[in-house]
A and B are shown apart, each in its own frame.
Chain A
Amino acid sequence: MATRFRFPGIRWSVWYVRQWWQTRDRRLLFAGLPALAALVLTVVVAGIAMTKTSEVEVQSRYFRTGHAHLAAGRYDQALVCFERLVHLAPHRQDVLFALALASEGVGQTERAVQIMSELAPQDKAGYAPAHLWYAKQLLQAPQKSPKVLDAAEAHLLRALDGELDNRPEAEGLLGELYLARNRLDQAELYLLRAVKADPRLHLRLAYLYARKGDRDRARWEGEQAASFYRAWTKSEVHTPQARLGWADAAIFLENFDVAVSVLEEGLRLTGDPVYREALAKTYMAWADALARRNQSPADATQLVSEQLRLLEKALQVDPHNHDLVMQVWAMTQIRGEVADKAREVLRSQLVEGKGSGLTHLALGMDAWQRGKQEEALLHLEQAYKLAPHLGIVANNLAWVLANMQPPDLDRALQLVNTVLEQWPNQPMCRDTRGYILFRMGRYREALADYQAALPALRHDPGIHQRLADVYAKLGMTELSEQHAAQARKLLDAASSSSR
């Protein structure tokens, strides 16, 4: 006989539920529906939140999103993402690194540097991308002392020792650093590694082989660089880096007319002022190349005229270029027709309205050298009015005021002090002030300024002579004699080298 399963419990439960339901007040259910719905919704949302917003999920999402914001330049949002992450995972190096990048982006530079310092310590291996970042910061510094370069090198080597996504970048930087430090073999090693990923480095290799004396290889590399930049320029017509790189390669290959035409096209298409500076640089390089090529004294005058023509063209595109104006001024020191021509070039700048404080400065210095005090003072005053921010203008005006007859020492002192407030350790200005104080009879103060300027100007016979004078006034004859002797020695050396 088959056994039938019976489930009296289920039947009873059904009966109970039915009884229970029949005794309920439906109005209460209706009134309770909002709470029930809210409860269900809360439970569902809480459940989804717990699964979708687990810590691992949050970290992953914020990491992705934060990097997307970084790449797009939305640093505020990137910072929020990485601030969240750093609370969840305070020891993750990749998070700290990204936080530092975001902080840098919003202007919290000090915080970025501090985080990177912890990630990339000086004395041991840290997080490789942080070492690379640190090295790049050091290499961007305006004053690259040997200590700075050593530190940058150490960071780059540590970066290459670690896990780095962008190894060619680090290798390229290291190669350039070695090139700058004249360690050509090491530079060649790293540049050759990096050039496959970064064809821009062909130009660096060209300089390297030029220094090594391998002219053929240098030329080949230069042509590779030119070819790369040409292709880049053709594909991205408005990208300055491409066009400037092409011009640099052309300059290296001494195809100056190519460089000029490339840059002129860029200026015409975009009007970007960076092309003006580059053009000026090209013309100056062209003028230098002419000087290197023509050694015959018979062609000297024509050479200088040709140089002047090029510099004049440069001035037309970049009249405010400091180096350019100083180069033209240097030409006014050459006697004869060339000097006159150089002066004419400078004056024509003023006439055409392209003149600047620098132009007046050059003319003023030229007039002073020729003994024309009034003319010098006039030009320098104009230069100061047009470019009061240029330290060299204030310094030279102060020098002229201190040396003219009669001298205006108070005004000279006030002028040079304005420069020293901004650059307190500028040696030329310290020397100028020392001279003014000496003329005012304040010998001890003058001595202090001369001493401050001496390390940078120790090869200048003038400062030694001035030191000799001030020591003499202070009654320190031994030191005075020593400095006088040094001044004579330097003068003799200068005159024998010029012969």
Chain B
Amino acid sequence: MPRLRITYRLGQERANTGTDLEPRCDTNRQTRRHPGNMASVVQPTSASTRPVGHAGFGSFVCILSLVALAAVILPWLGVIGGHLWARPHYQVMPLVLLGVAVVAASRWPGLGQLQPGAWRIVLVGFAVAVPALAVAFAAYSPVLGGAGLLVMMVAGVYGLGGWKLLRAMFPALVLIALMVPLPFGFDQRLVQSLQRVTTDWSSHLLDLFGVEHAVSGNVIQIPGKDLFVEQACSGVHSFFTILAATLFYVLWQRRPTLHVLLLLGAAAGWVLVGNAIRAAFLAYAFQRWNADLLTGWKHLAVGFAVFFVTLFLVLSTDALLRFLWQSPRSPSDPERSQSPTRLPDLTRTWLGWLPVPLVLGALALFQFGFVGIEARDTGRPAAEFEAALHQLDADLFPKQWAGWERKDFVVESREVSSEFGANSRAWMWAMPEGRAVISADFVFSDWHDLRVCYRSTGWSIEEAGFVNVDGVPVTILRMNRPGSRFGYVLFTHFDKNGSPVSPSPTNFFNRLDVRMARFSARWFGTTEQSAEPEFARSVCQVQMLVESYQPLSPAEQERALKQFLEAAERIRQASQS
């Protein structure tokens, strides 16, 4: 006798599968408890029993679906993981994954027998996710890919266990959503906003304690030192870490929604307060005690101290909130039955739908078709390029150069994601118009807009222009600051092969265009339209800043441009040696 392993509740939702292999169920089915057996057994009223062979085929389809799903997801883990790891504020993500597992595991027990979700909803979810993933991989967009995966996960979870499972797994899905990179550079803008807030609050604190200082953008100037909040507040990155940790904690502990929101708000507040105190303390320590806490182990120690105090305050706030309202269990918690959680027959869920492995398999193949699609890199290895740039030294320019006198040469290293570049070589000059700095900053992944950097150090951009001189694209900025200070900036970029790099108008569509063209050329034999890389991978930026106390005249600007072009060429040639 065929055994049916589907269990239904009387009057409950309709179980749906949508395929001919599955029996259609309705609420009129009667259930009878089998003596000694917790499971209810349904007596089929219609001839909808599946033969044994069909059950075996269903299992095979399930396995295929899982394999296809893995084939779709695994490349994305690499893409998104690499994208996140390049940004220090996202480097907490491996721990977030762990948190997801912990939260999911804590919500799993006691859900009882799960029922698959409505097939229409699952279908809609996959209909959105699959094309999104296809386009995302074609355009190499971690943001769109992350969103697509998230939608697929939501639809998949719903499809497996209905609203009950989705509600139970919702906290874990919220944590997973943290790993989806924010689009349009919102994360960078958020970091910049946090730097501004931190600078502002630090300034108020310093005023309160009578420490004289000037504020210019995100730079706090005290006599003898300029303190850039980026340096002082790599703790701005702790904002994301603390928020992620707080979210994990409240989800794991099943706090009510209002409690979650209040605690997240409090965590954000404590982070900002902590960072402001930290920046102010660094400035205070330097001015009062001549203690330089900006580098070395002292800097790390201060950072860790602030981090752990902030974490402690978050936990304390949680206790305070609980004290204020020891609310009963959240109504949003899934109804917990005493019975262990059991998945439905997977062959009856979307995993057992034959189109699923077919569609996912096609998607996986489509994604696979892009592997190695990048423009064949026949140029120099990136490591060699970077090594050559590290060799740049003071003697690249003579001490006296076209009326300029070299005053100093500085080597600087920063965080990988620093908006000023991870490494810099800077030559300082005294010149008739004022003083100038020529620097080589490397490596960036693409053309890099310096306006953001200069704004963050207090400059106002009066005018920005772009010229092309003998194939060298040069961006020109005219800037000023209060108190009769003027800046004239020229910058250009070249890649590891020494080729100039121009700003790309719209990276997403540019990449999509180029990669689809290559895909077609590879698999369908069409002519490849572009041999250009869709994005440059190793880029060096050369910039020159002329600081003067009056605006440069047109003749002076012309001279500066000429000097800059010569400097850029020297650096470019040195990088190719």
Contacts and interface: CB of A to CB of B under 8 A. Distances in A.
B319 A31 contact: yes
Given A34-B312, A52-B208, A80 B221 contact: yes
B215 A84 contact: yes
Contacts of B316: 31-36, 38
Given A24-B326, A87-B482, A58 B320 contact: no
A24 B323 contact: yes
B550 interface: yes
A52 B482 contact: no
Interface in B308-335: 312-313, 315-317, 319-323, 326
Nearest to B458: A87
A115 B213 contact: no
Contacts of A80: 212-214, 221-223
B483 interface: yes
Contacts of B484: 96, 111, 114-115, 118
Contacts of A48: 208
B559 interface: no
Interface in B221-244: 221-224
Contacts of A363: none
Contact of B549 (A38, A82, A96, A114): A114
Interface residues of A, number: 43
B485 A34 contact: no
Name the 10 nearest CB pairs between A and B, nearest first.
A32-B320, A31-B319, A35-B316, A28-B323, A83-B214, A84-B214, A90-B482, A53-B207, A114-B549, A35-B317
Contacts of B483: 82-83, 86, 90, 96, 99, 111, 115
Nearest to B550: A114
A61 B212 CA distance: 10
A42 interface: yes
A114 B222 CA distance: 24
B214 A110 contact: no
B443 to A, nearest CB: 34
B434 A83 contact: no
A330 interface: no
A296 interface: no
B204 interface: yes
B7 interface: no
Given A76-B224, A111-B549, A23 B326 contact: yes
A207 B113 CA distance: 115
A25 interface: yes
Given A42-B273, A53-B208, A36 B482 contact: no
Contacts of A361: none
Interface in B537-576: 549-550
Contacts of A29: 319-320, 323
B323 A25 contact: yes
B204 A53 contact: yes
A28 B214 contact: no
B502 interface: no
B216 interface: yes
B549 A35 contact: no
Contacts of B266: 35
B430 to A, nearest CB: 11
A227 interface: no
B205 A49 contact: yes
A437 interface: no
Interface residues of B, number: 35
Interface in A14-63: 23-25, 28-29, 31-36, 38, 42, 45, 48-50, 52-53, 58, 61-62
Interface of B: 204-205, 207-208, 212-216, 221-224, 266, 270, 273, 312-313, 315-317, 319-323, 326, 434, 458, 482-485, 549-550
B207 A52 contact: yes
Contacts of B222: 80
B503 to A, nearest CB: 31
Contacts of A36: 316, 320
Nearest to B323: A28
Given A52-B207, A62-B212, A34 B326 contact: no
9 contacts: A24-B323, A28-B319, A31-B315, A76-B224, A81-B212, A96-B483, A99-B483, A108-B549, A115-B484
A356 interface: no
Contacts of B208: 45, 48-49, 52-53
Contact of B323 (A32, A86, A99): A32
A49 B276 CA distance: 13
A29 B320 CA distance: 6
B27 to A, nearest CB: 42
Contacts of A24: 323, 326
A65 interface: yes
A56 to B, nearest CB: 12
B247 to A, nearest CB: 18
Contacts of A90: 482-483
A366 B325 CA distance: 108
Contacts of A122: none
Interface string A169-209: 00000000000000000000000000000000000000000
B215 A87 contact: yes
A49 B312 contact: no
B316 to A, nearest CB: 4
B213 A84 contact: yes
A87 B203 CA distance: 13
A404 B490 CA distance: 59
A89 to B, nearest CB: 9
A58 B549 contact: no
A32 B215 contact: no
Contact of A110 (B205, B212, B549): B549
A392 B328 CA distance: 101
A77 interface: yes
A42 B273 CA distance: 8
B530 to A, nearest CB: 48
A35 B214 contact: no
Interface string A87-125: 100100000100100000000101101110010000000
A108 B550 CA distance: 13
Contacts of A65: 212
A76 B221 CA distance: 11
Contacts of B550: 114
Contacts of B485: 111
A65 B212 CA distance: 9
A52 B208 CA distance: 7
B207 A38 contact: no
Contacts of A35: 266, 313, 316-317, 319-320
Contacts of A77: 212, 223
Nearest to B319: A31
Contacts of A113: 549
Contacts of A96: 483-484
Contacts of B458: 87
Given A31-B323, A32-B320, A87-B458, 6 more contacts: A25-B322, A34-B312, A36-B316, A77-B223, A83-B483, A84-B214
B23 to A, nearest CB: 52
Contacts of A118: 484
B204 A49 contact: yes
Nearest to A52: B208
Interface string A114-144: 1100100000000000000000000000000
A31 B482 CA distance: 49
